[in-house]
């Protein structure tokens, strides 16, 4: 018998590091195509699932830049477990608007926010539960190797759909001119 073997569904993990969740909202913006996506992939660790530890995955979609120690931990976890790591959005690719803090001293910023503002507390939160901020905001590719980049702030739903379906079907991802945006 000439039976086609059932196609193995790809596993996808997603994460938001120092992101605004806008790129995830843009992913939801593919609307009813989400049902099609659900036929093609299973989601592993992601803000839209309840999985706490990342298992072996095919694709990691990561929005947001790296701004604190926990971001580094999550980023390395996904890099270790995923075959393809995709930087999604301006923050993940360039540091984005959060990287505008890079011209200031991180200690000064914390004191300004937690001590100097009217009605603020009197000290910078120091509970060990809280991850420490890094000296600067870093794009993903300055911490781990990144395989693919989807530009945009956020990338449009159409851009994400085009890029993901290209990736899933093994094509070299391309974006048409209308979908290619940095803003």
The site for another protein (CB under 8 A) is made up of 87, 90, 93-97, 99-100, 102-103, 136, 139, 141-142, 146, 148-151, 153, 174-175, 177-178, 180-183
Q: Is 34 or 181 the residue whose CB approaches another protein more closely?
A: 181
Say if CB 12 and CB 92 are below 8 A apart: no
Shortest approach of another protein to residue 27 CB, angstroms? 18
Q: What is the rounded CA–CA span in Å between residue 81 and residue 84? A: 9
Q: Is 82 or 159 the residue whose CB approaches another protein more closely?
A: 159
Shortest approach of another protein to residue 153 CB, angstroms? 4
Q: What is the rounded CA–CA span in Å between residue 64 and residue 79? A: 15
Angle of the 157-168 helix axis to the 33-40 helix axis, nearest 10: 20
Q: Is 30 or 139 the residue whose CB approaches another protein more closely?
A: 139
Shortest approach of another protein to residue 149 CB, angstroms? 4
Q: What is the rounded CA–CA span in Å between residue 48 and residue 56? A: 18
Residue 145 contacts by C-beta under 8 Å, 6 or more apart in sequence?
A: 79, 85
Quickly tell me which residue has 């913006």 as its tokens. 29
Q: Is 8 or 103 the residue whose CB approaches another protein more closely?
A: 103
Shortest approach of another protein to residue 159 CB, angstroms? 11
Say if CB 140 and CB 94 are below 8 A apart: no
Shortest approach of another protein to residue 148 CB, angstroms? 8
Q: Is 64 or 95 the residue whose CB approaches another protein more closely?
A: 95
Classify residue 138 as exposed, middle or buried by CB count within 10 Å of its CB (0-12, 13-18, 19+). Answer: buried
């Amino acid at each position: 018998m000439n039976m086609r073997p059932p196609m193995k569904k790809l596993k996808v993990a997603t994460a938001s590091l120092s992101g605004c969740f806008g790129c995830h909202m843009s992913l939801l913006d593919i609307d009813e195509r989400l049902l099609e996506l659900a036929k093609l992939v299973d989601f592993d660790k992601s803000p839209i699932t309840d999985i706490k530890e990342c298992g072996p995955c095919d694709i990691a979609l990561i929005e947001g830049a790296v701004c604190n120690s926990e971001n580094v931990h999550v980023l390395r976890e996904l890099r270790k477990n995923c075959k393809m790591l995709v930087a999604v959005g301006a923050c993940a690719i360039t540091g984005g608007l959060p990287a505008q803090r890079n011209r200031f001293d991180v200690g000064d910023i914390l004191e300004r926010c937690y001590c100097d503002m009217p009605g603020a507390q009197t000290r910078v939160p120091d509970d060990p539960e809280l991850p420490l901020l890094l000296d600067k905001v870093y794009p993903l590719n300055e911490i781990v190797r990144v395989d693919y980049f989807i530009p945009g702030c956020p990338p449009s739903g159409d851009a994400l759909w085009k890029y993901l379906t290209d990736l899933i079907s093994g094509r070299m991802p391309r974006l048409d001119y209308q979908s290619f945006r940095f803003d």
